[in-house]
């Protein structure tokens, strides 16, 4: 809609500001609404609009530094590997432009140039990062709109989840070195992330209750991870270093910064290819789903905030739909108009009874 329009008894004005469409309710008087619209257009032309005055001096490069310092560092442990390189590249591209000056068209041009150098997934991650920055800028009063919201992300095919079958798990464990094996066992039986496992301290472990307390997780929320008997025995058998607070530690009493080299060696010896440590988490979830555990329980065990992240594993349970309809077959009595009878299923001896009412084609016995 453009100009002045009416909704109910109220007149609205609609105008363009920094490439974005702005709509405002004004009055029940059309002439007043027209006057306000004309004044707003003049203010925009002269650079006097209040929204522009408020954001004019907020340079993109300056806000990136503030966003990294105030938002990313405290809330994202891996910000140096994710947010920093993404935003640093954007800072070089947009330079000293102000936040409100960057339009959807500018971002489309960046998108078109970047795709020549990297994959679609990489471009999408950068745009998501940029969108988060603008959303935070809106919350902080630095800008009034998010231009990224009008830019479409690339469609990318869903990646196949890499997980281990039972035989592969046995081969991997058989080829793990002494310090790596208990770490891999914990990952396979809890679904914990590598950083969470390597950062485990003895006071996080409640052997009596069978719970691991995670206080510093990726999403910033505390999480309780249940331990099965295998995990409990594995941790009990870890030789405790009285000089270190860490469950898994090196000879210098410090925690393992990484186990990439030893894990890669174990995979190579076990003839397991294209497999990362993080895929142990996928293996944990995949094995649960394939053994009939419902997705919401898997979500809780993985610590996902929403079910969307967990849905990636749903296809691994090809018979879950059949199990659902089989369950109904034990609870529902069907009446078929062709023979005028209803067949009551779910009983030892199926009964055939005369037709009583065609409209009651589904008789729910009890759920």
pLDDT at 254: 85
pLDDT at 53: 47
Q: Are the beta carbons of 271 and 171 closer than 8 angstroms?
A: yes
pLDDT under 50: residue ranges of the chain: 51-55, 335-336, 339, 343, 345-348, 350-367
C-alpha count within 13 angstroms, C-beta hemisphere, residue 84: 8
pLDDT at 367: 31
User: Measured between alpha carbons, how far is 264 from 248 in angstroms, rounded to an integer?
Assistant: 18
Question: How do residues 82-135 score in pLDDT, each as one tens digit?
Answer: 788 999 999 999 988 999 899 999 999 999 999 999 999 899 999 999 999 999
Burial of 164 (0-12, 13-18, 19+ CB in 10 A): buried
Taking alpha carbons only, the member of 291, 364, 361 closest to residue 329 is: 364
Question: Torsion angle of alpha carbons 214, 217, 222, 225, nearest 10°?
Answer: -40
Q: Are the beta carbons of 4 and 12 closer than 8 angstroms?
A: yes
What's the token pair of residue 208?
Answer: 């009596």
User: Measured between alpha carbons, how far is 37 from 34 in angstroms, rounded to an integer?
Assistant: 5
DSSP lists the bridge partners of residue 225 as 212
Q: For 107, which DSSP code?
A: H
pLDDT at 323: 65
Q: Are the beta carbons of 169 and 185 closer than 8 angstroms?
A: no
Helices (H), the chain: 30-46, 50-55, 60-67, 73-75, 83-94, 104-114, 120-139, 166-174, 181-190, 194-198, 229-236, 260-269, 279-290, 295-302, 320-329
pLDDT at 48: 53
pLDDT at 284: 94
pLDDT at 266: 97
Q: For 204, which DSSP code?
A: G
How many C-beta atoms lie closer than 10 Å to residue 152's C-beta?
A: 10
pLDDT at 247: 92
Helix (H) or strand (E) holding 341: strand 341-344
What SS3 state is found at 332?
strand
pLDDT at 334: 52
Q: Are the beta carbons of 73 and 220 closer than 8 angstroms?
A: no
Parallel, antiparallel, or unpaired: how do β-strands 3-7 and 223-226 relate? Answer: unpaired
């Amino acid at each position: 809609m453009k100009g002045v329009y009416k909704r109910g008894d109220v007149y609205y004005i609609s105008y363009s500001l920094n490439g974005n469409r702005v709509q405002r309710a004004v009055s029940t008087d059309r002439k007043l609404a027209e006057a306000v619209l004309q004044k707003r257009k003049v203010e925009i032309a002269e650079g006097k609009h209040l929204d522009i005055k408020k954001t004019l001096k907020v340079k993109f490069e300056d806000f990136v530094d503030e966003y990294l310092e105030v938002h990313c560092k405290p809330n994202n442990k891996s910000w140096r590997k994710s947010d920093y390189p993404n935003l640093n590249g954007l800072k070089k591209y947009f330079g000293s432009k102000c936040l409100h000056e960057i339009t959807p068209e500018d971002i489309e041009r960046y998108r078109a140039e970047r795709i020549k150098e990297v994959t679609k997934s990489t471009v999408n991650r950068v745009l998501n990062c940029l969108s988060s920055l603008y959303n935070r800028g809106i919350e902080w009063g630095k800008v009034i709109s998010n231009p990224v919201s009008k830019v479409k992300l690339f469609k990318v095919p869903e990646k196949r989840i890499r997980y281990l079958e039972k035989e592969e798990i046995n081969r991997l464990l058989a080829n793990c070195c002494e310090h790596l094996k208990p770490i891999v066992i914990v990952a396979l039986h809890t679904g914990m992330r590598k950083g969470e496992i390597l950062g485990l301290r003895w006071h996080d472990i409640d052997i009596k209750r069978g719970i691991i307390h995670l206080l510093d997780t990726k999403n910033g929320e505390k999480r309780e991870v249940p331990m099965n008997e295998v995990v409990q025995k594995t941790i009990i058998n870890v030789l405790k270093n009285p000089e270190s607070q860490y469950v898994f530690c090196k000879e210098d009493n410090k925690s393992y910064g990484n186990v990439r080299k030893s894990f890669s060696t174990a995979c190579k010896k076990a003839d397991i290819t294209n497999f990362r440590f993080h895929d142990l988490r996928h293996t944990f979830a995949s094995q649960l789903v394939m053994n009939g555990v419902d997705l919401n329980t898997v979500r809780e065990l993985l610590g996902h905030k929403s079910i969307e992240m967990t849905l990636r594993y749903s296809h691994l349970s090809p018979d879950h739909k059949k199990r659902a309809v089989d369950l109904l077959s034990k609870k529902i009595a069907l009446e078929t108009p062709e023979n005028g009878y209803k067949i009551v299923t779910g009983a030892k001896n199926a009964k055939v009874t005369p037709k009583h009412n065609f409209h009651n084609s589904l008789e729910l016995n009890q759920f």
